[in-house]
Structure 1
Amino acid sequence: MAALATPAPGAPRRREPGARGRLRVADRVYARIADRAARDVLARAWHGRAERGGPPKVSVSVPGSTVTVRIVVDLPFPADLAALAHALRERIAAQVSALTGARVGEVVVVVEKLVPGRGGSV
């Protein structure tokens, strides 16, 4: 049976991970994660269409311990806009939470423009 190692006198004590300090994630990191998640959802929505919308515009605020994401997107039309907005909110919240451990309080989806398919107009 092995003896437990004891620190040498004067050696720094090891502390539990939660007592070592704090991790601060920059807002731009949250924004990049949200942007990537949105692009994944939108890639499926735009699949097979000649016309495409512009890239999403993401802004993030971190009031306290929760993350709030605001994303401005162009969406294809005709399409199930409510389902697309829901998919964007769910995917962004899941990715940000999974990759950073932060709680996502709100994801606001703003549709800036609807891009019609061939022969359509909005």
Structure 2
Amino acid sequence: MTPVSTGAGELDRPLAVVPPGERGATRIADRVVAKIASQAAREAVGTLPPGADRPSASVTVHHDVAHVRVHIELDYPCDVGARCRTVRAQVVERVGDLVGMQVPEVVVHVERLHLTAAHGTGQGRTR
């Protein structure tokens, strides 16, 4: 233990050295994890279709486990399943890397599909 000086030349009680793991706890707010998940989903989606909202996320954290729900909008036509898998993988990776939490589930809600300009804006079916 290291003695502590009061500045007057006399020594007070010794200072206890506490190991870093025993100094306290760090708690990361759910909204911070949600922002990280939203940004990860944005990275995975890539270029947003015109008029699309940015991806958003809500998170429930219990201990060091985050359950994530992501809302996205995609262009159409596209492989919706593959895009959702990409979003899930990116969210799990980024939250794990940046926050150190496990992410056992990422629920992806596709809120809207935006018709791409290449397919025109005609309404109804064509035969």
Bucket of the pairwise TM-score, normalised by the shorter protein: 0.7 to 0.9
Whole-angstrom distance in 2 between the partners of 1:71 and 1:62: 15
Unaligned 5+ residue runs, structure 2?
4-11
| AA partner of residue 73 (structure 2) | D
Indicate how the Cα distance of structure 1 residues 83 and 90 shifts in structure 2: closer, same or farther if over 3 A, else same. same
Larger Rg: 2
| Higher percent of residues as strand | 2
Whole-angstrom distance in 2 between the partners of 1:85 and 1:27: 22
Match of 2:36 in 1: 33
CA offsets, 1:15-55, max 9 Å, x none? 222111110001111011111111111224x4xx6x35211
Choose from 10, 16, 19 the match for 2:19. Answer: 16
Unaligned 5+ residue runs, structure 1?
1-5
Whole-angstrom distance in 2 between the partners of 1:15 and 1:64: 23
State percent identity of aligned pairs. 34
**Offset of residue 65 of structure 1:** 2.8
Q: Which has the higher contact order (CA 8 A, sep 6+)?
A: 1
Preserved contact between residue 52 and residue 76 of structure 1 (Cα < 8 Å): no
Q: CA RMSD in A?
A: 2.0
* TM-score, structure 1 normalization: 0.81
Runs of 4+ in 1 over 6 A off after TM superposition: none
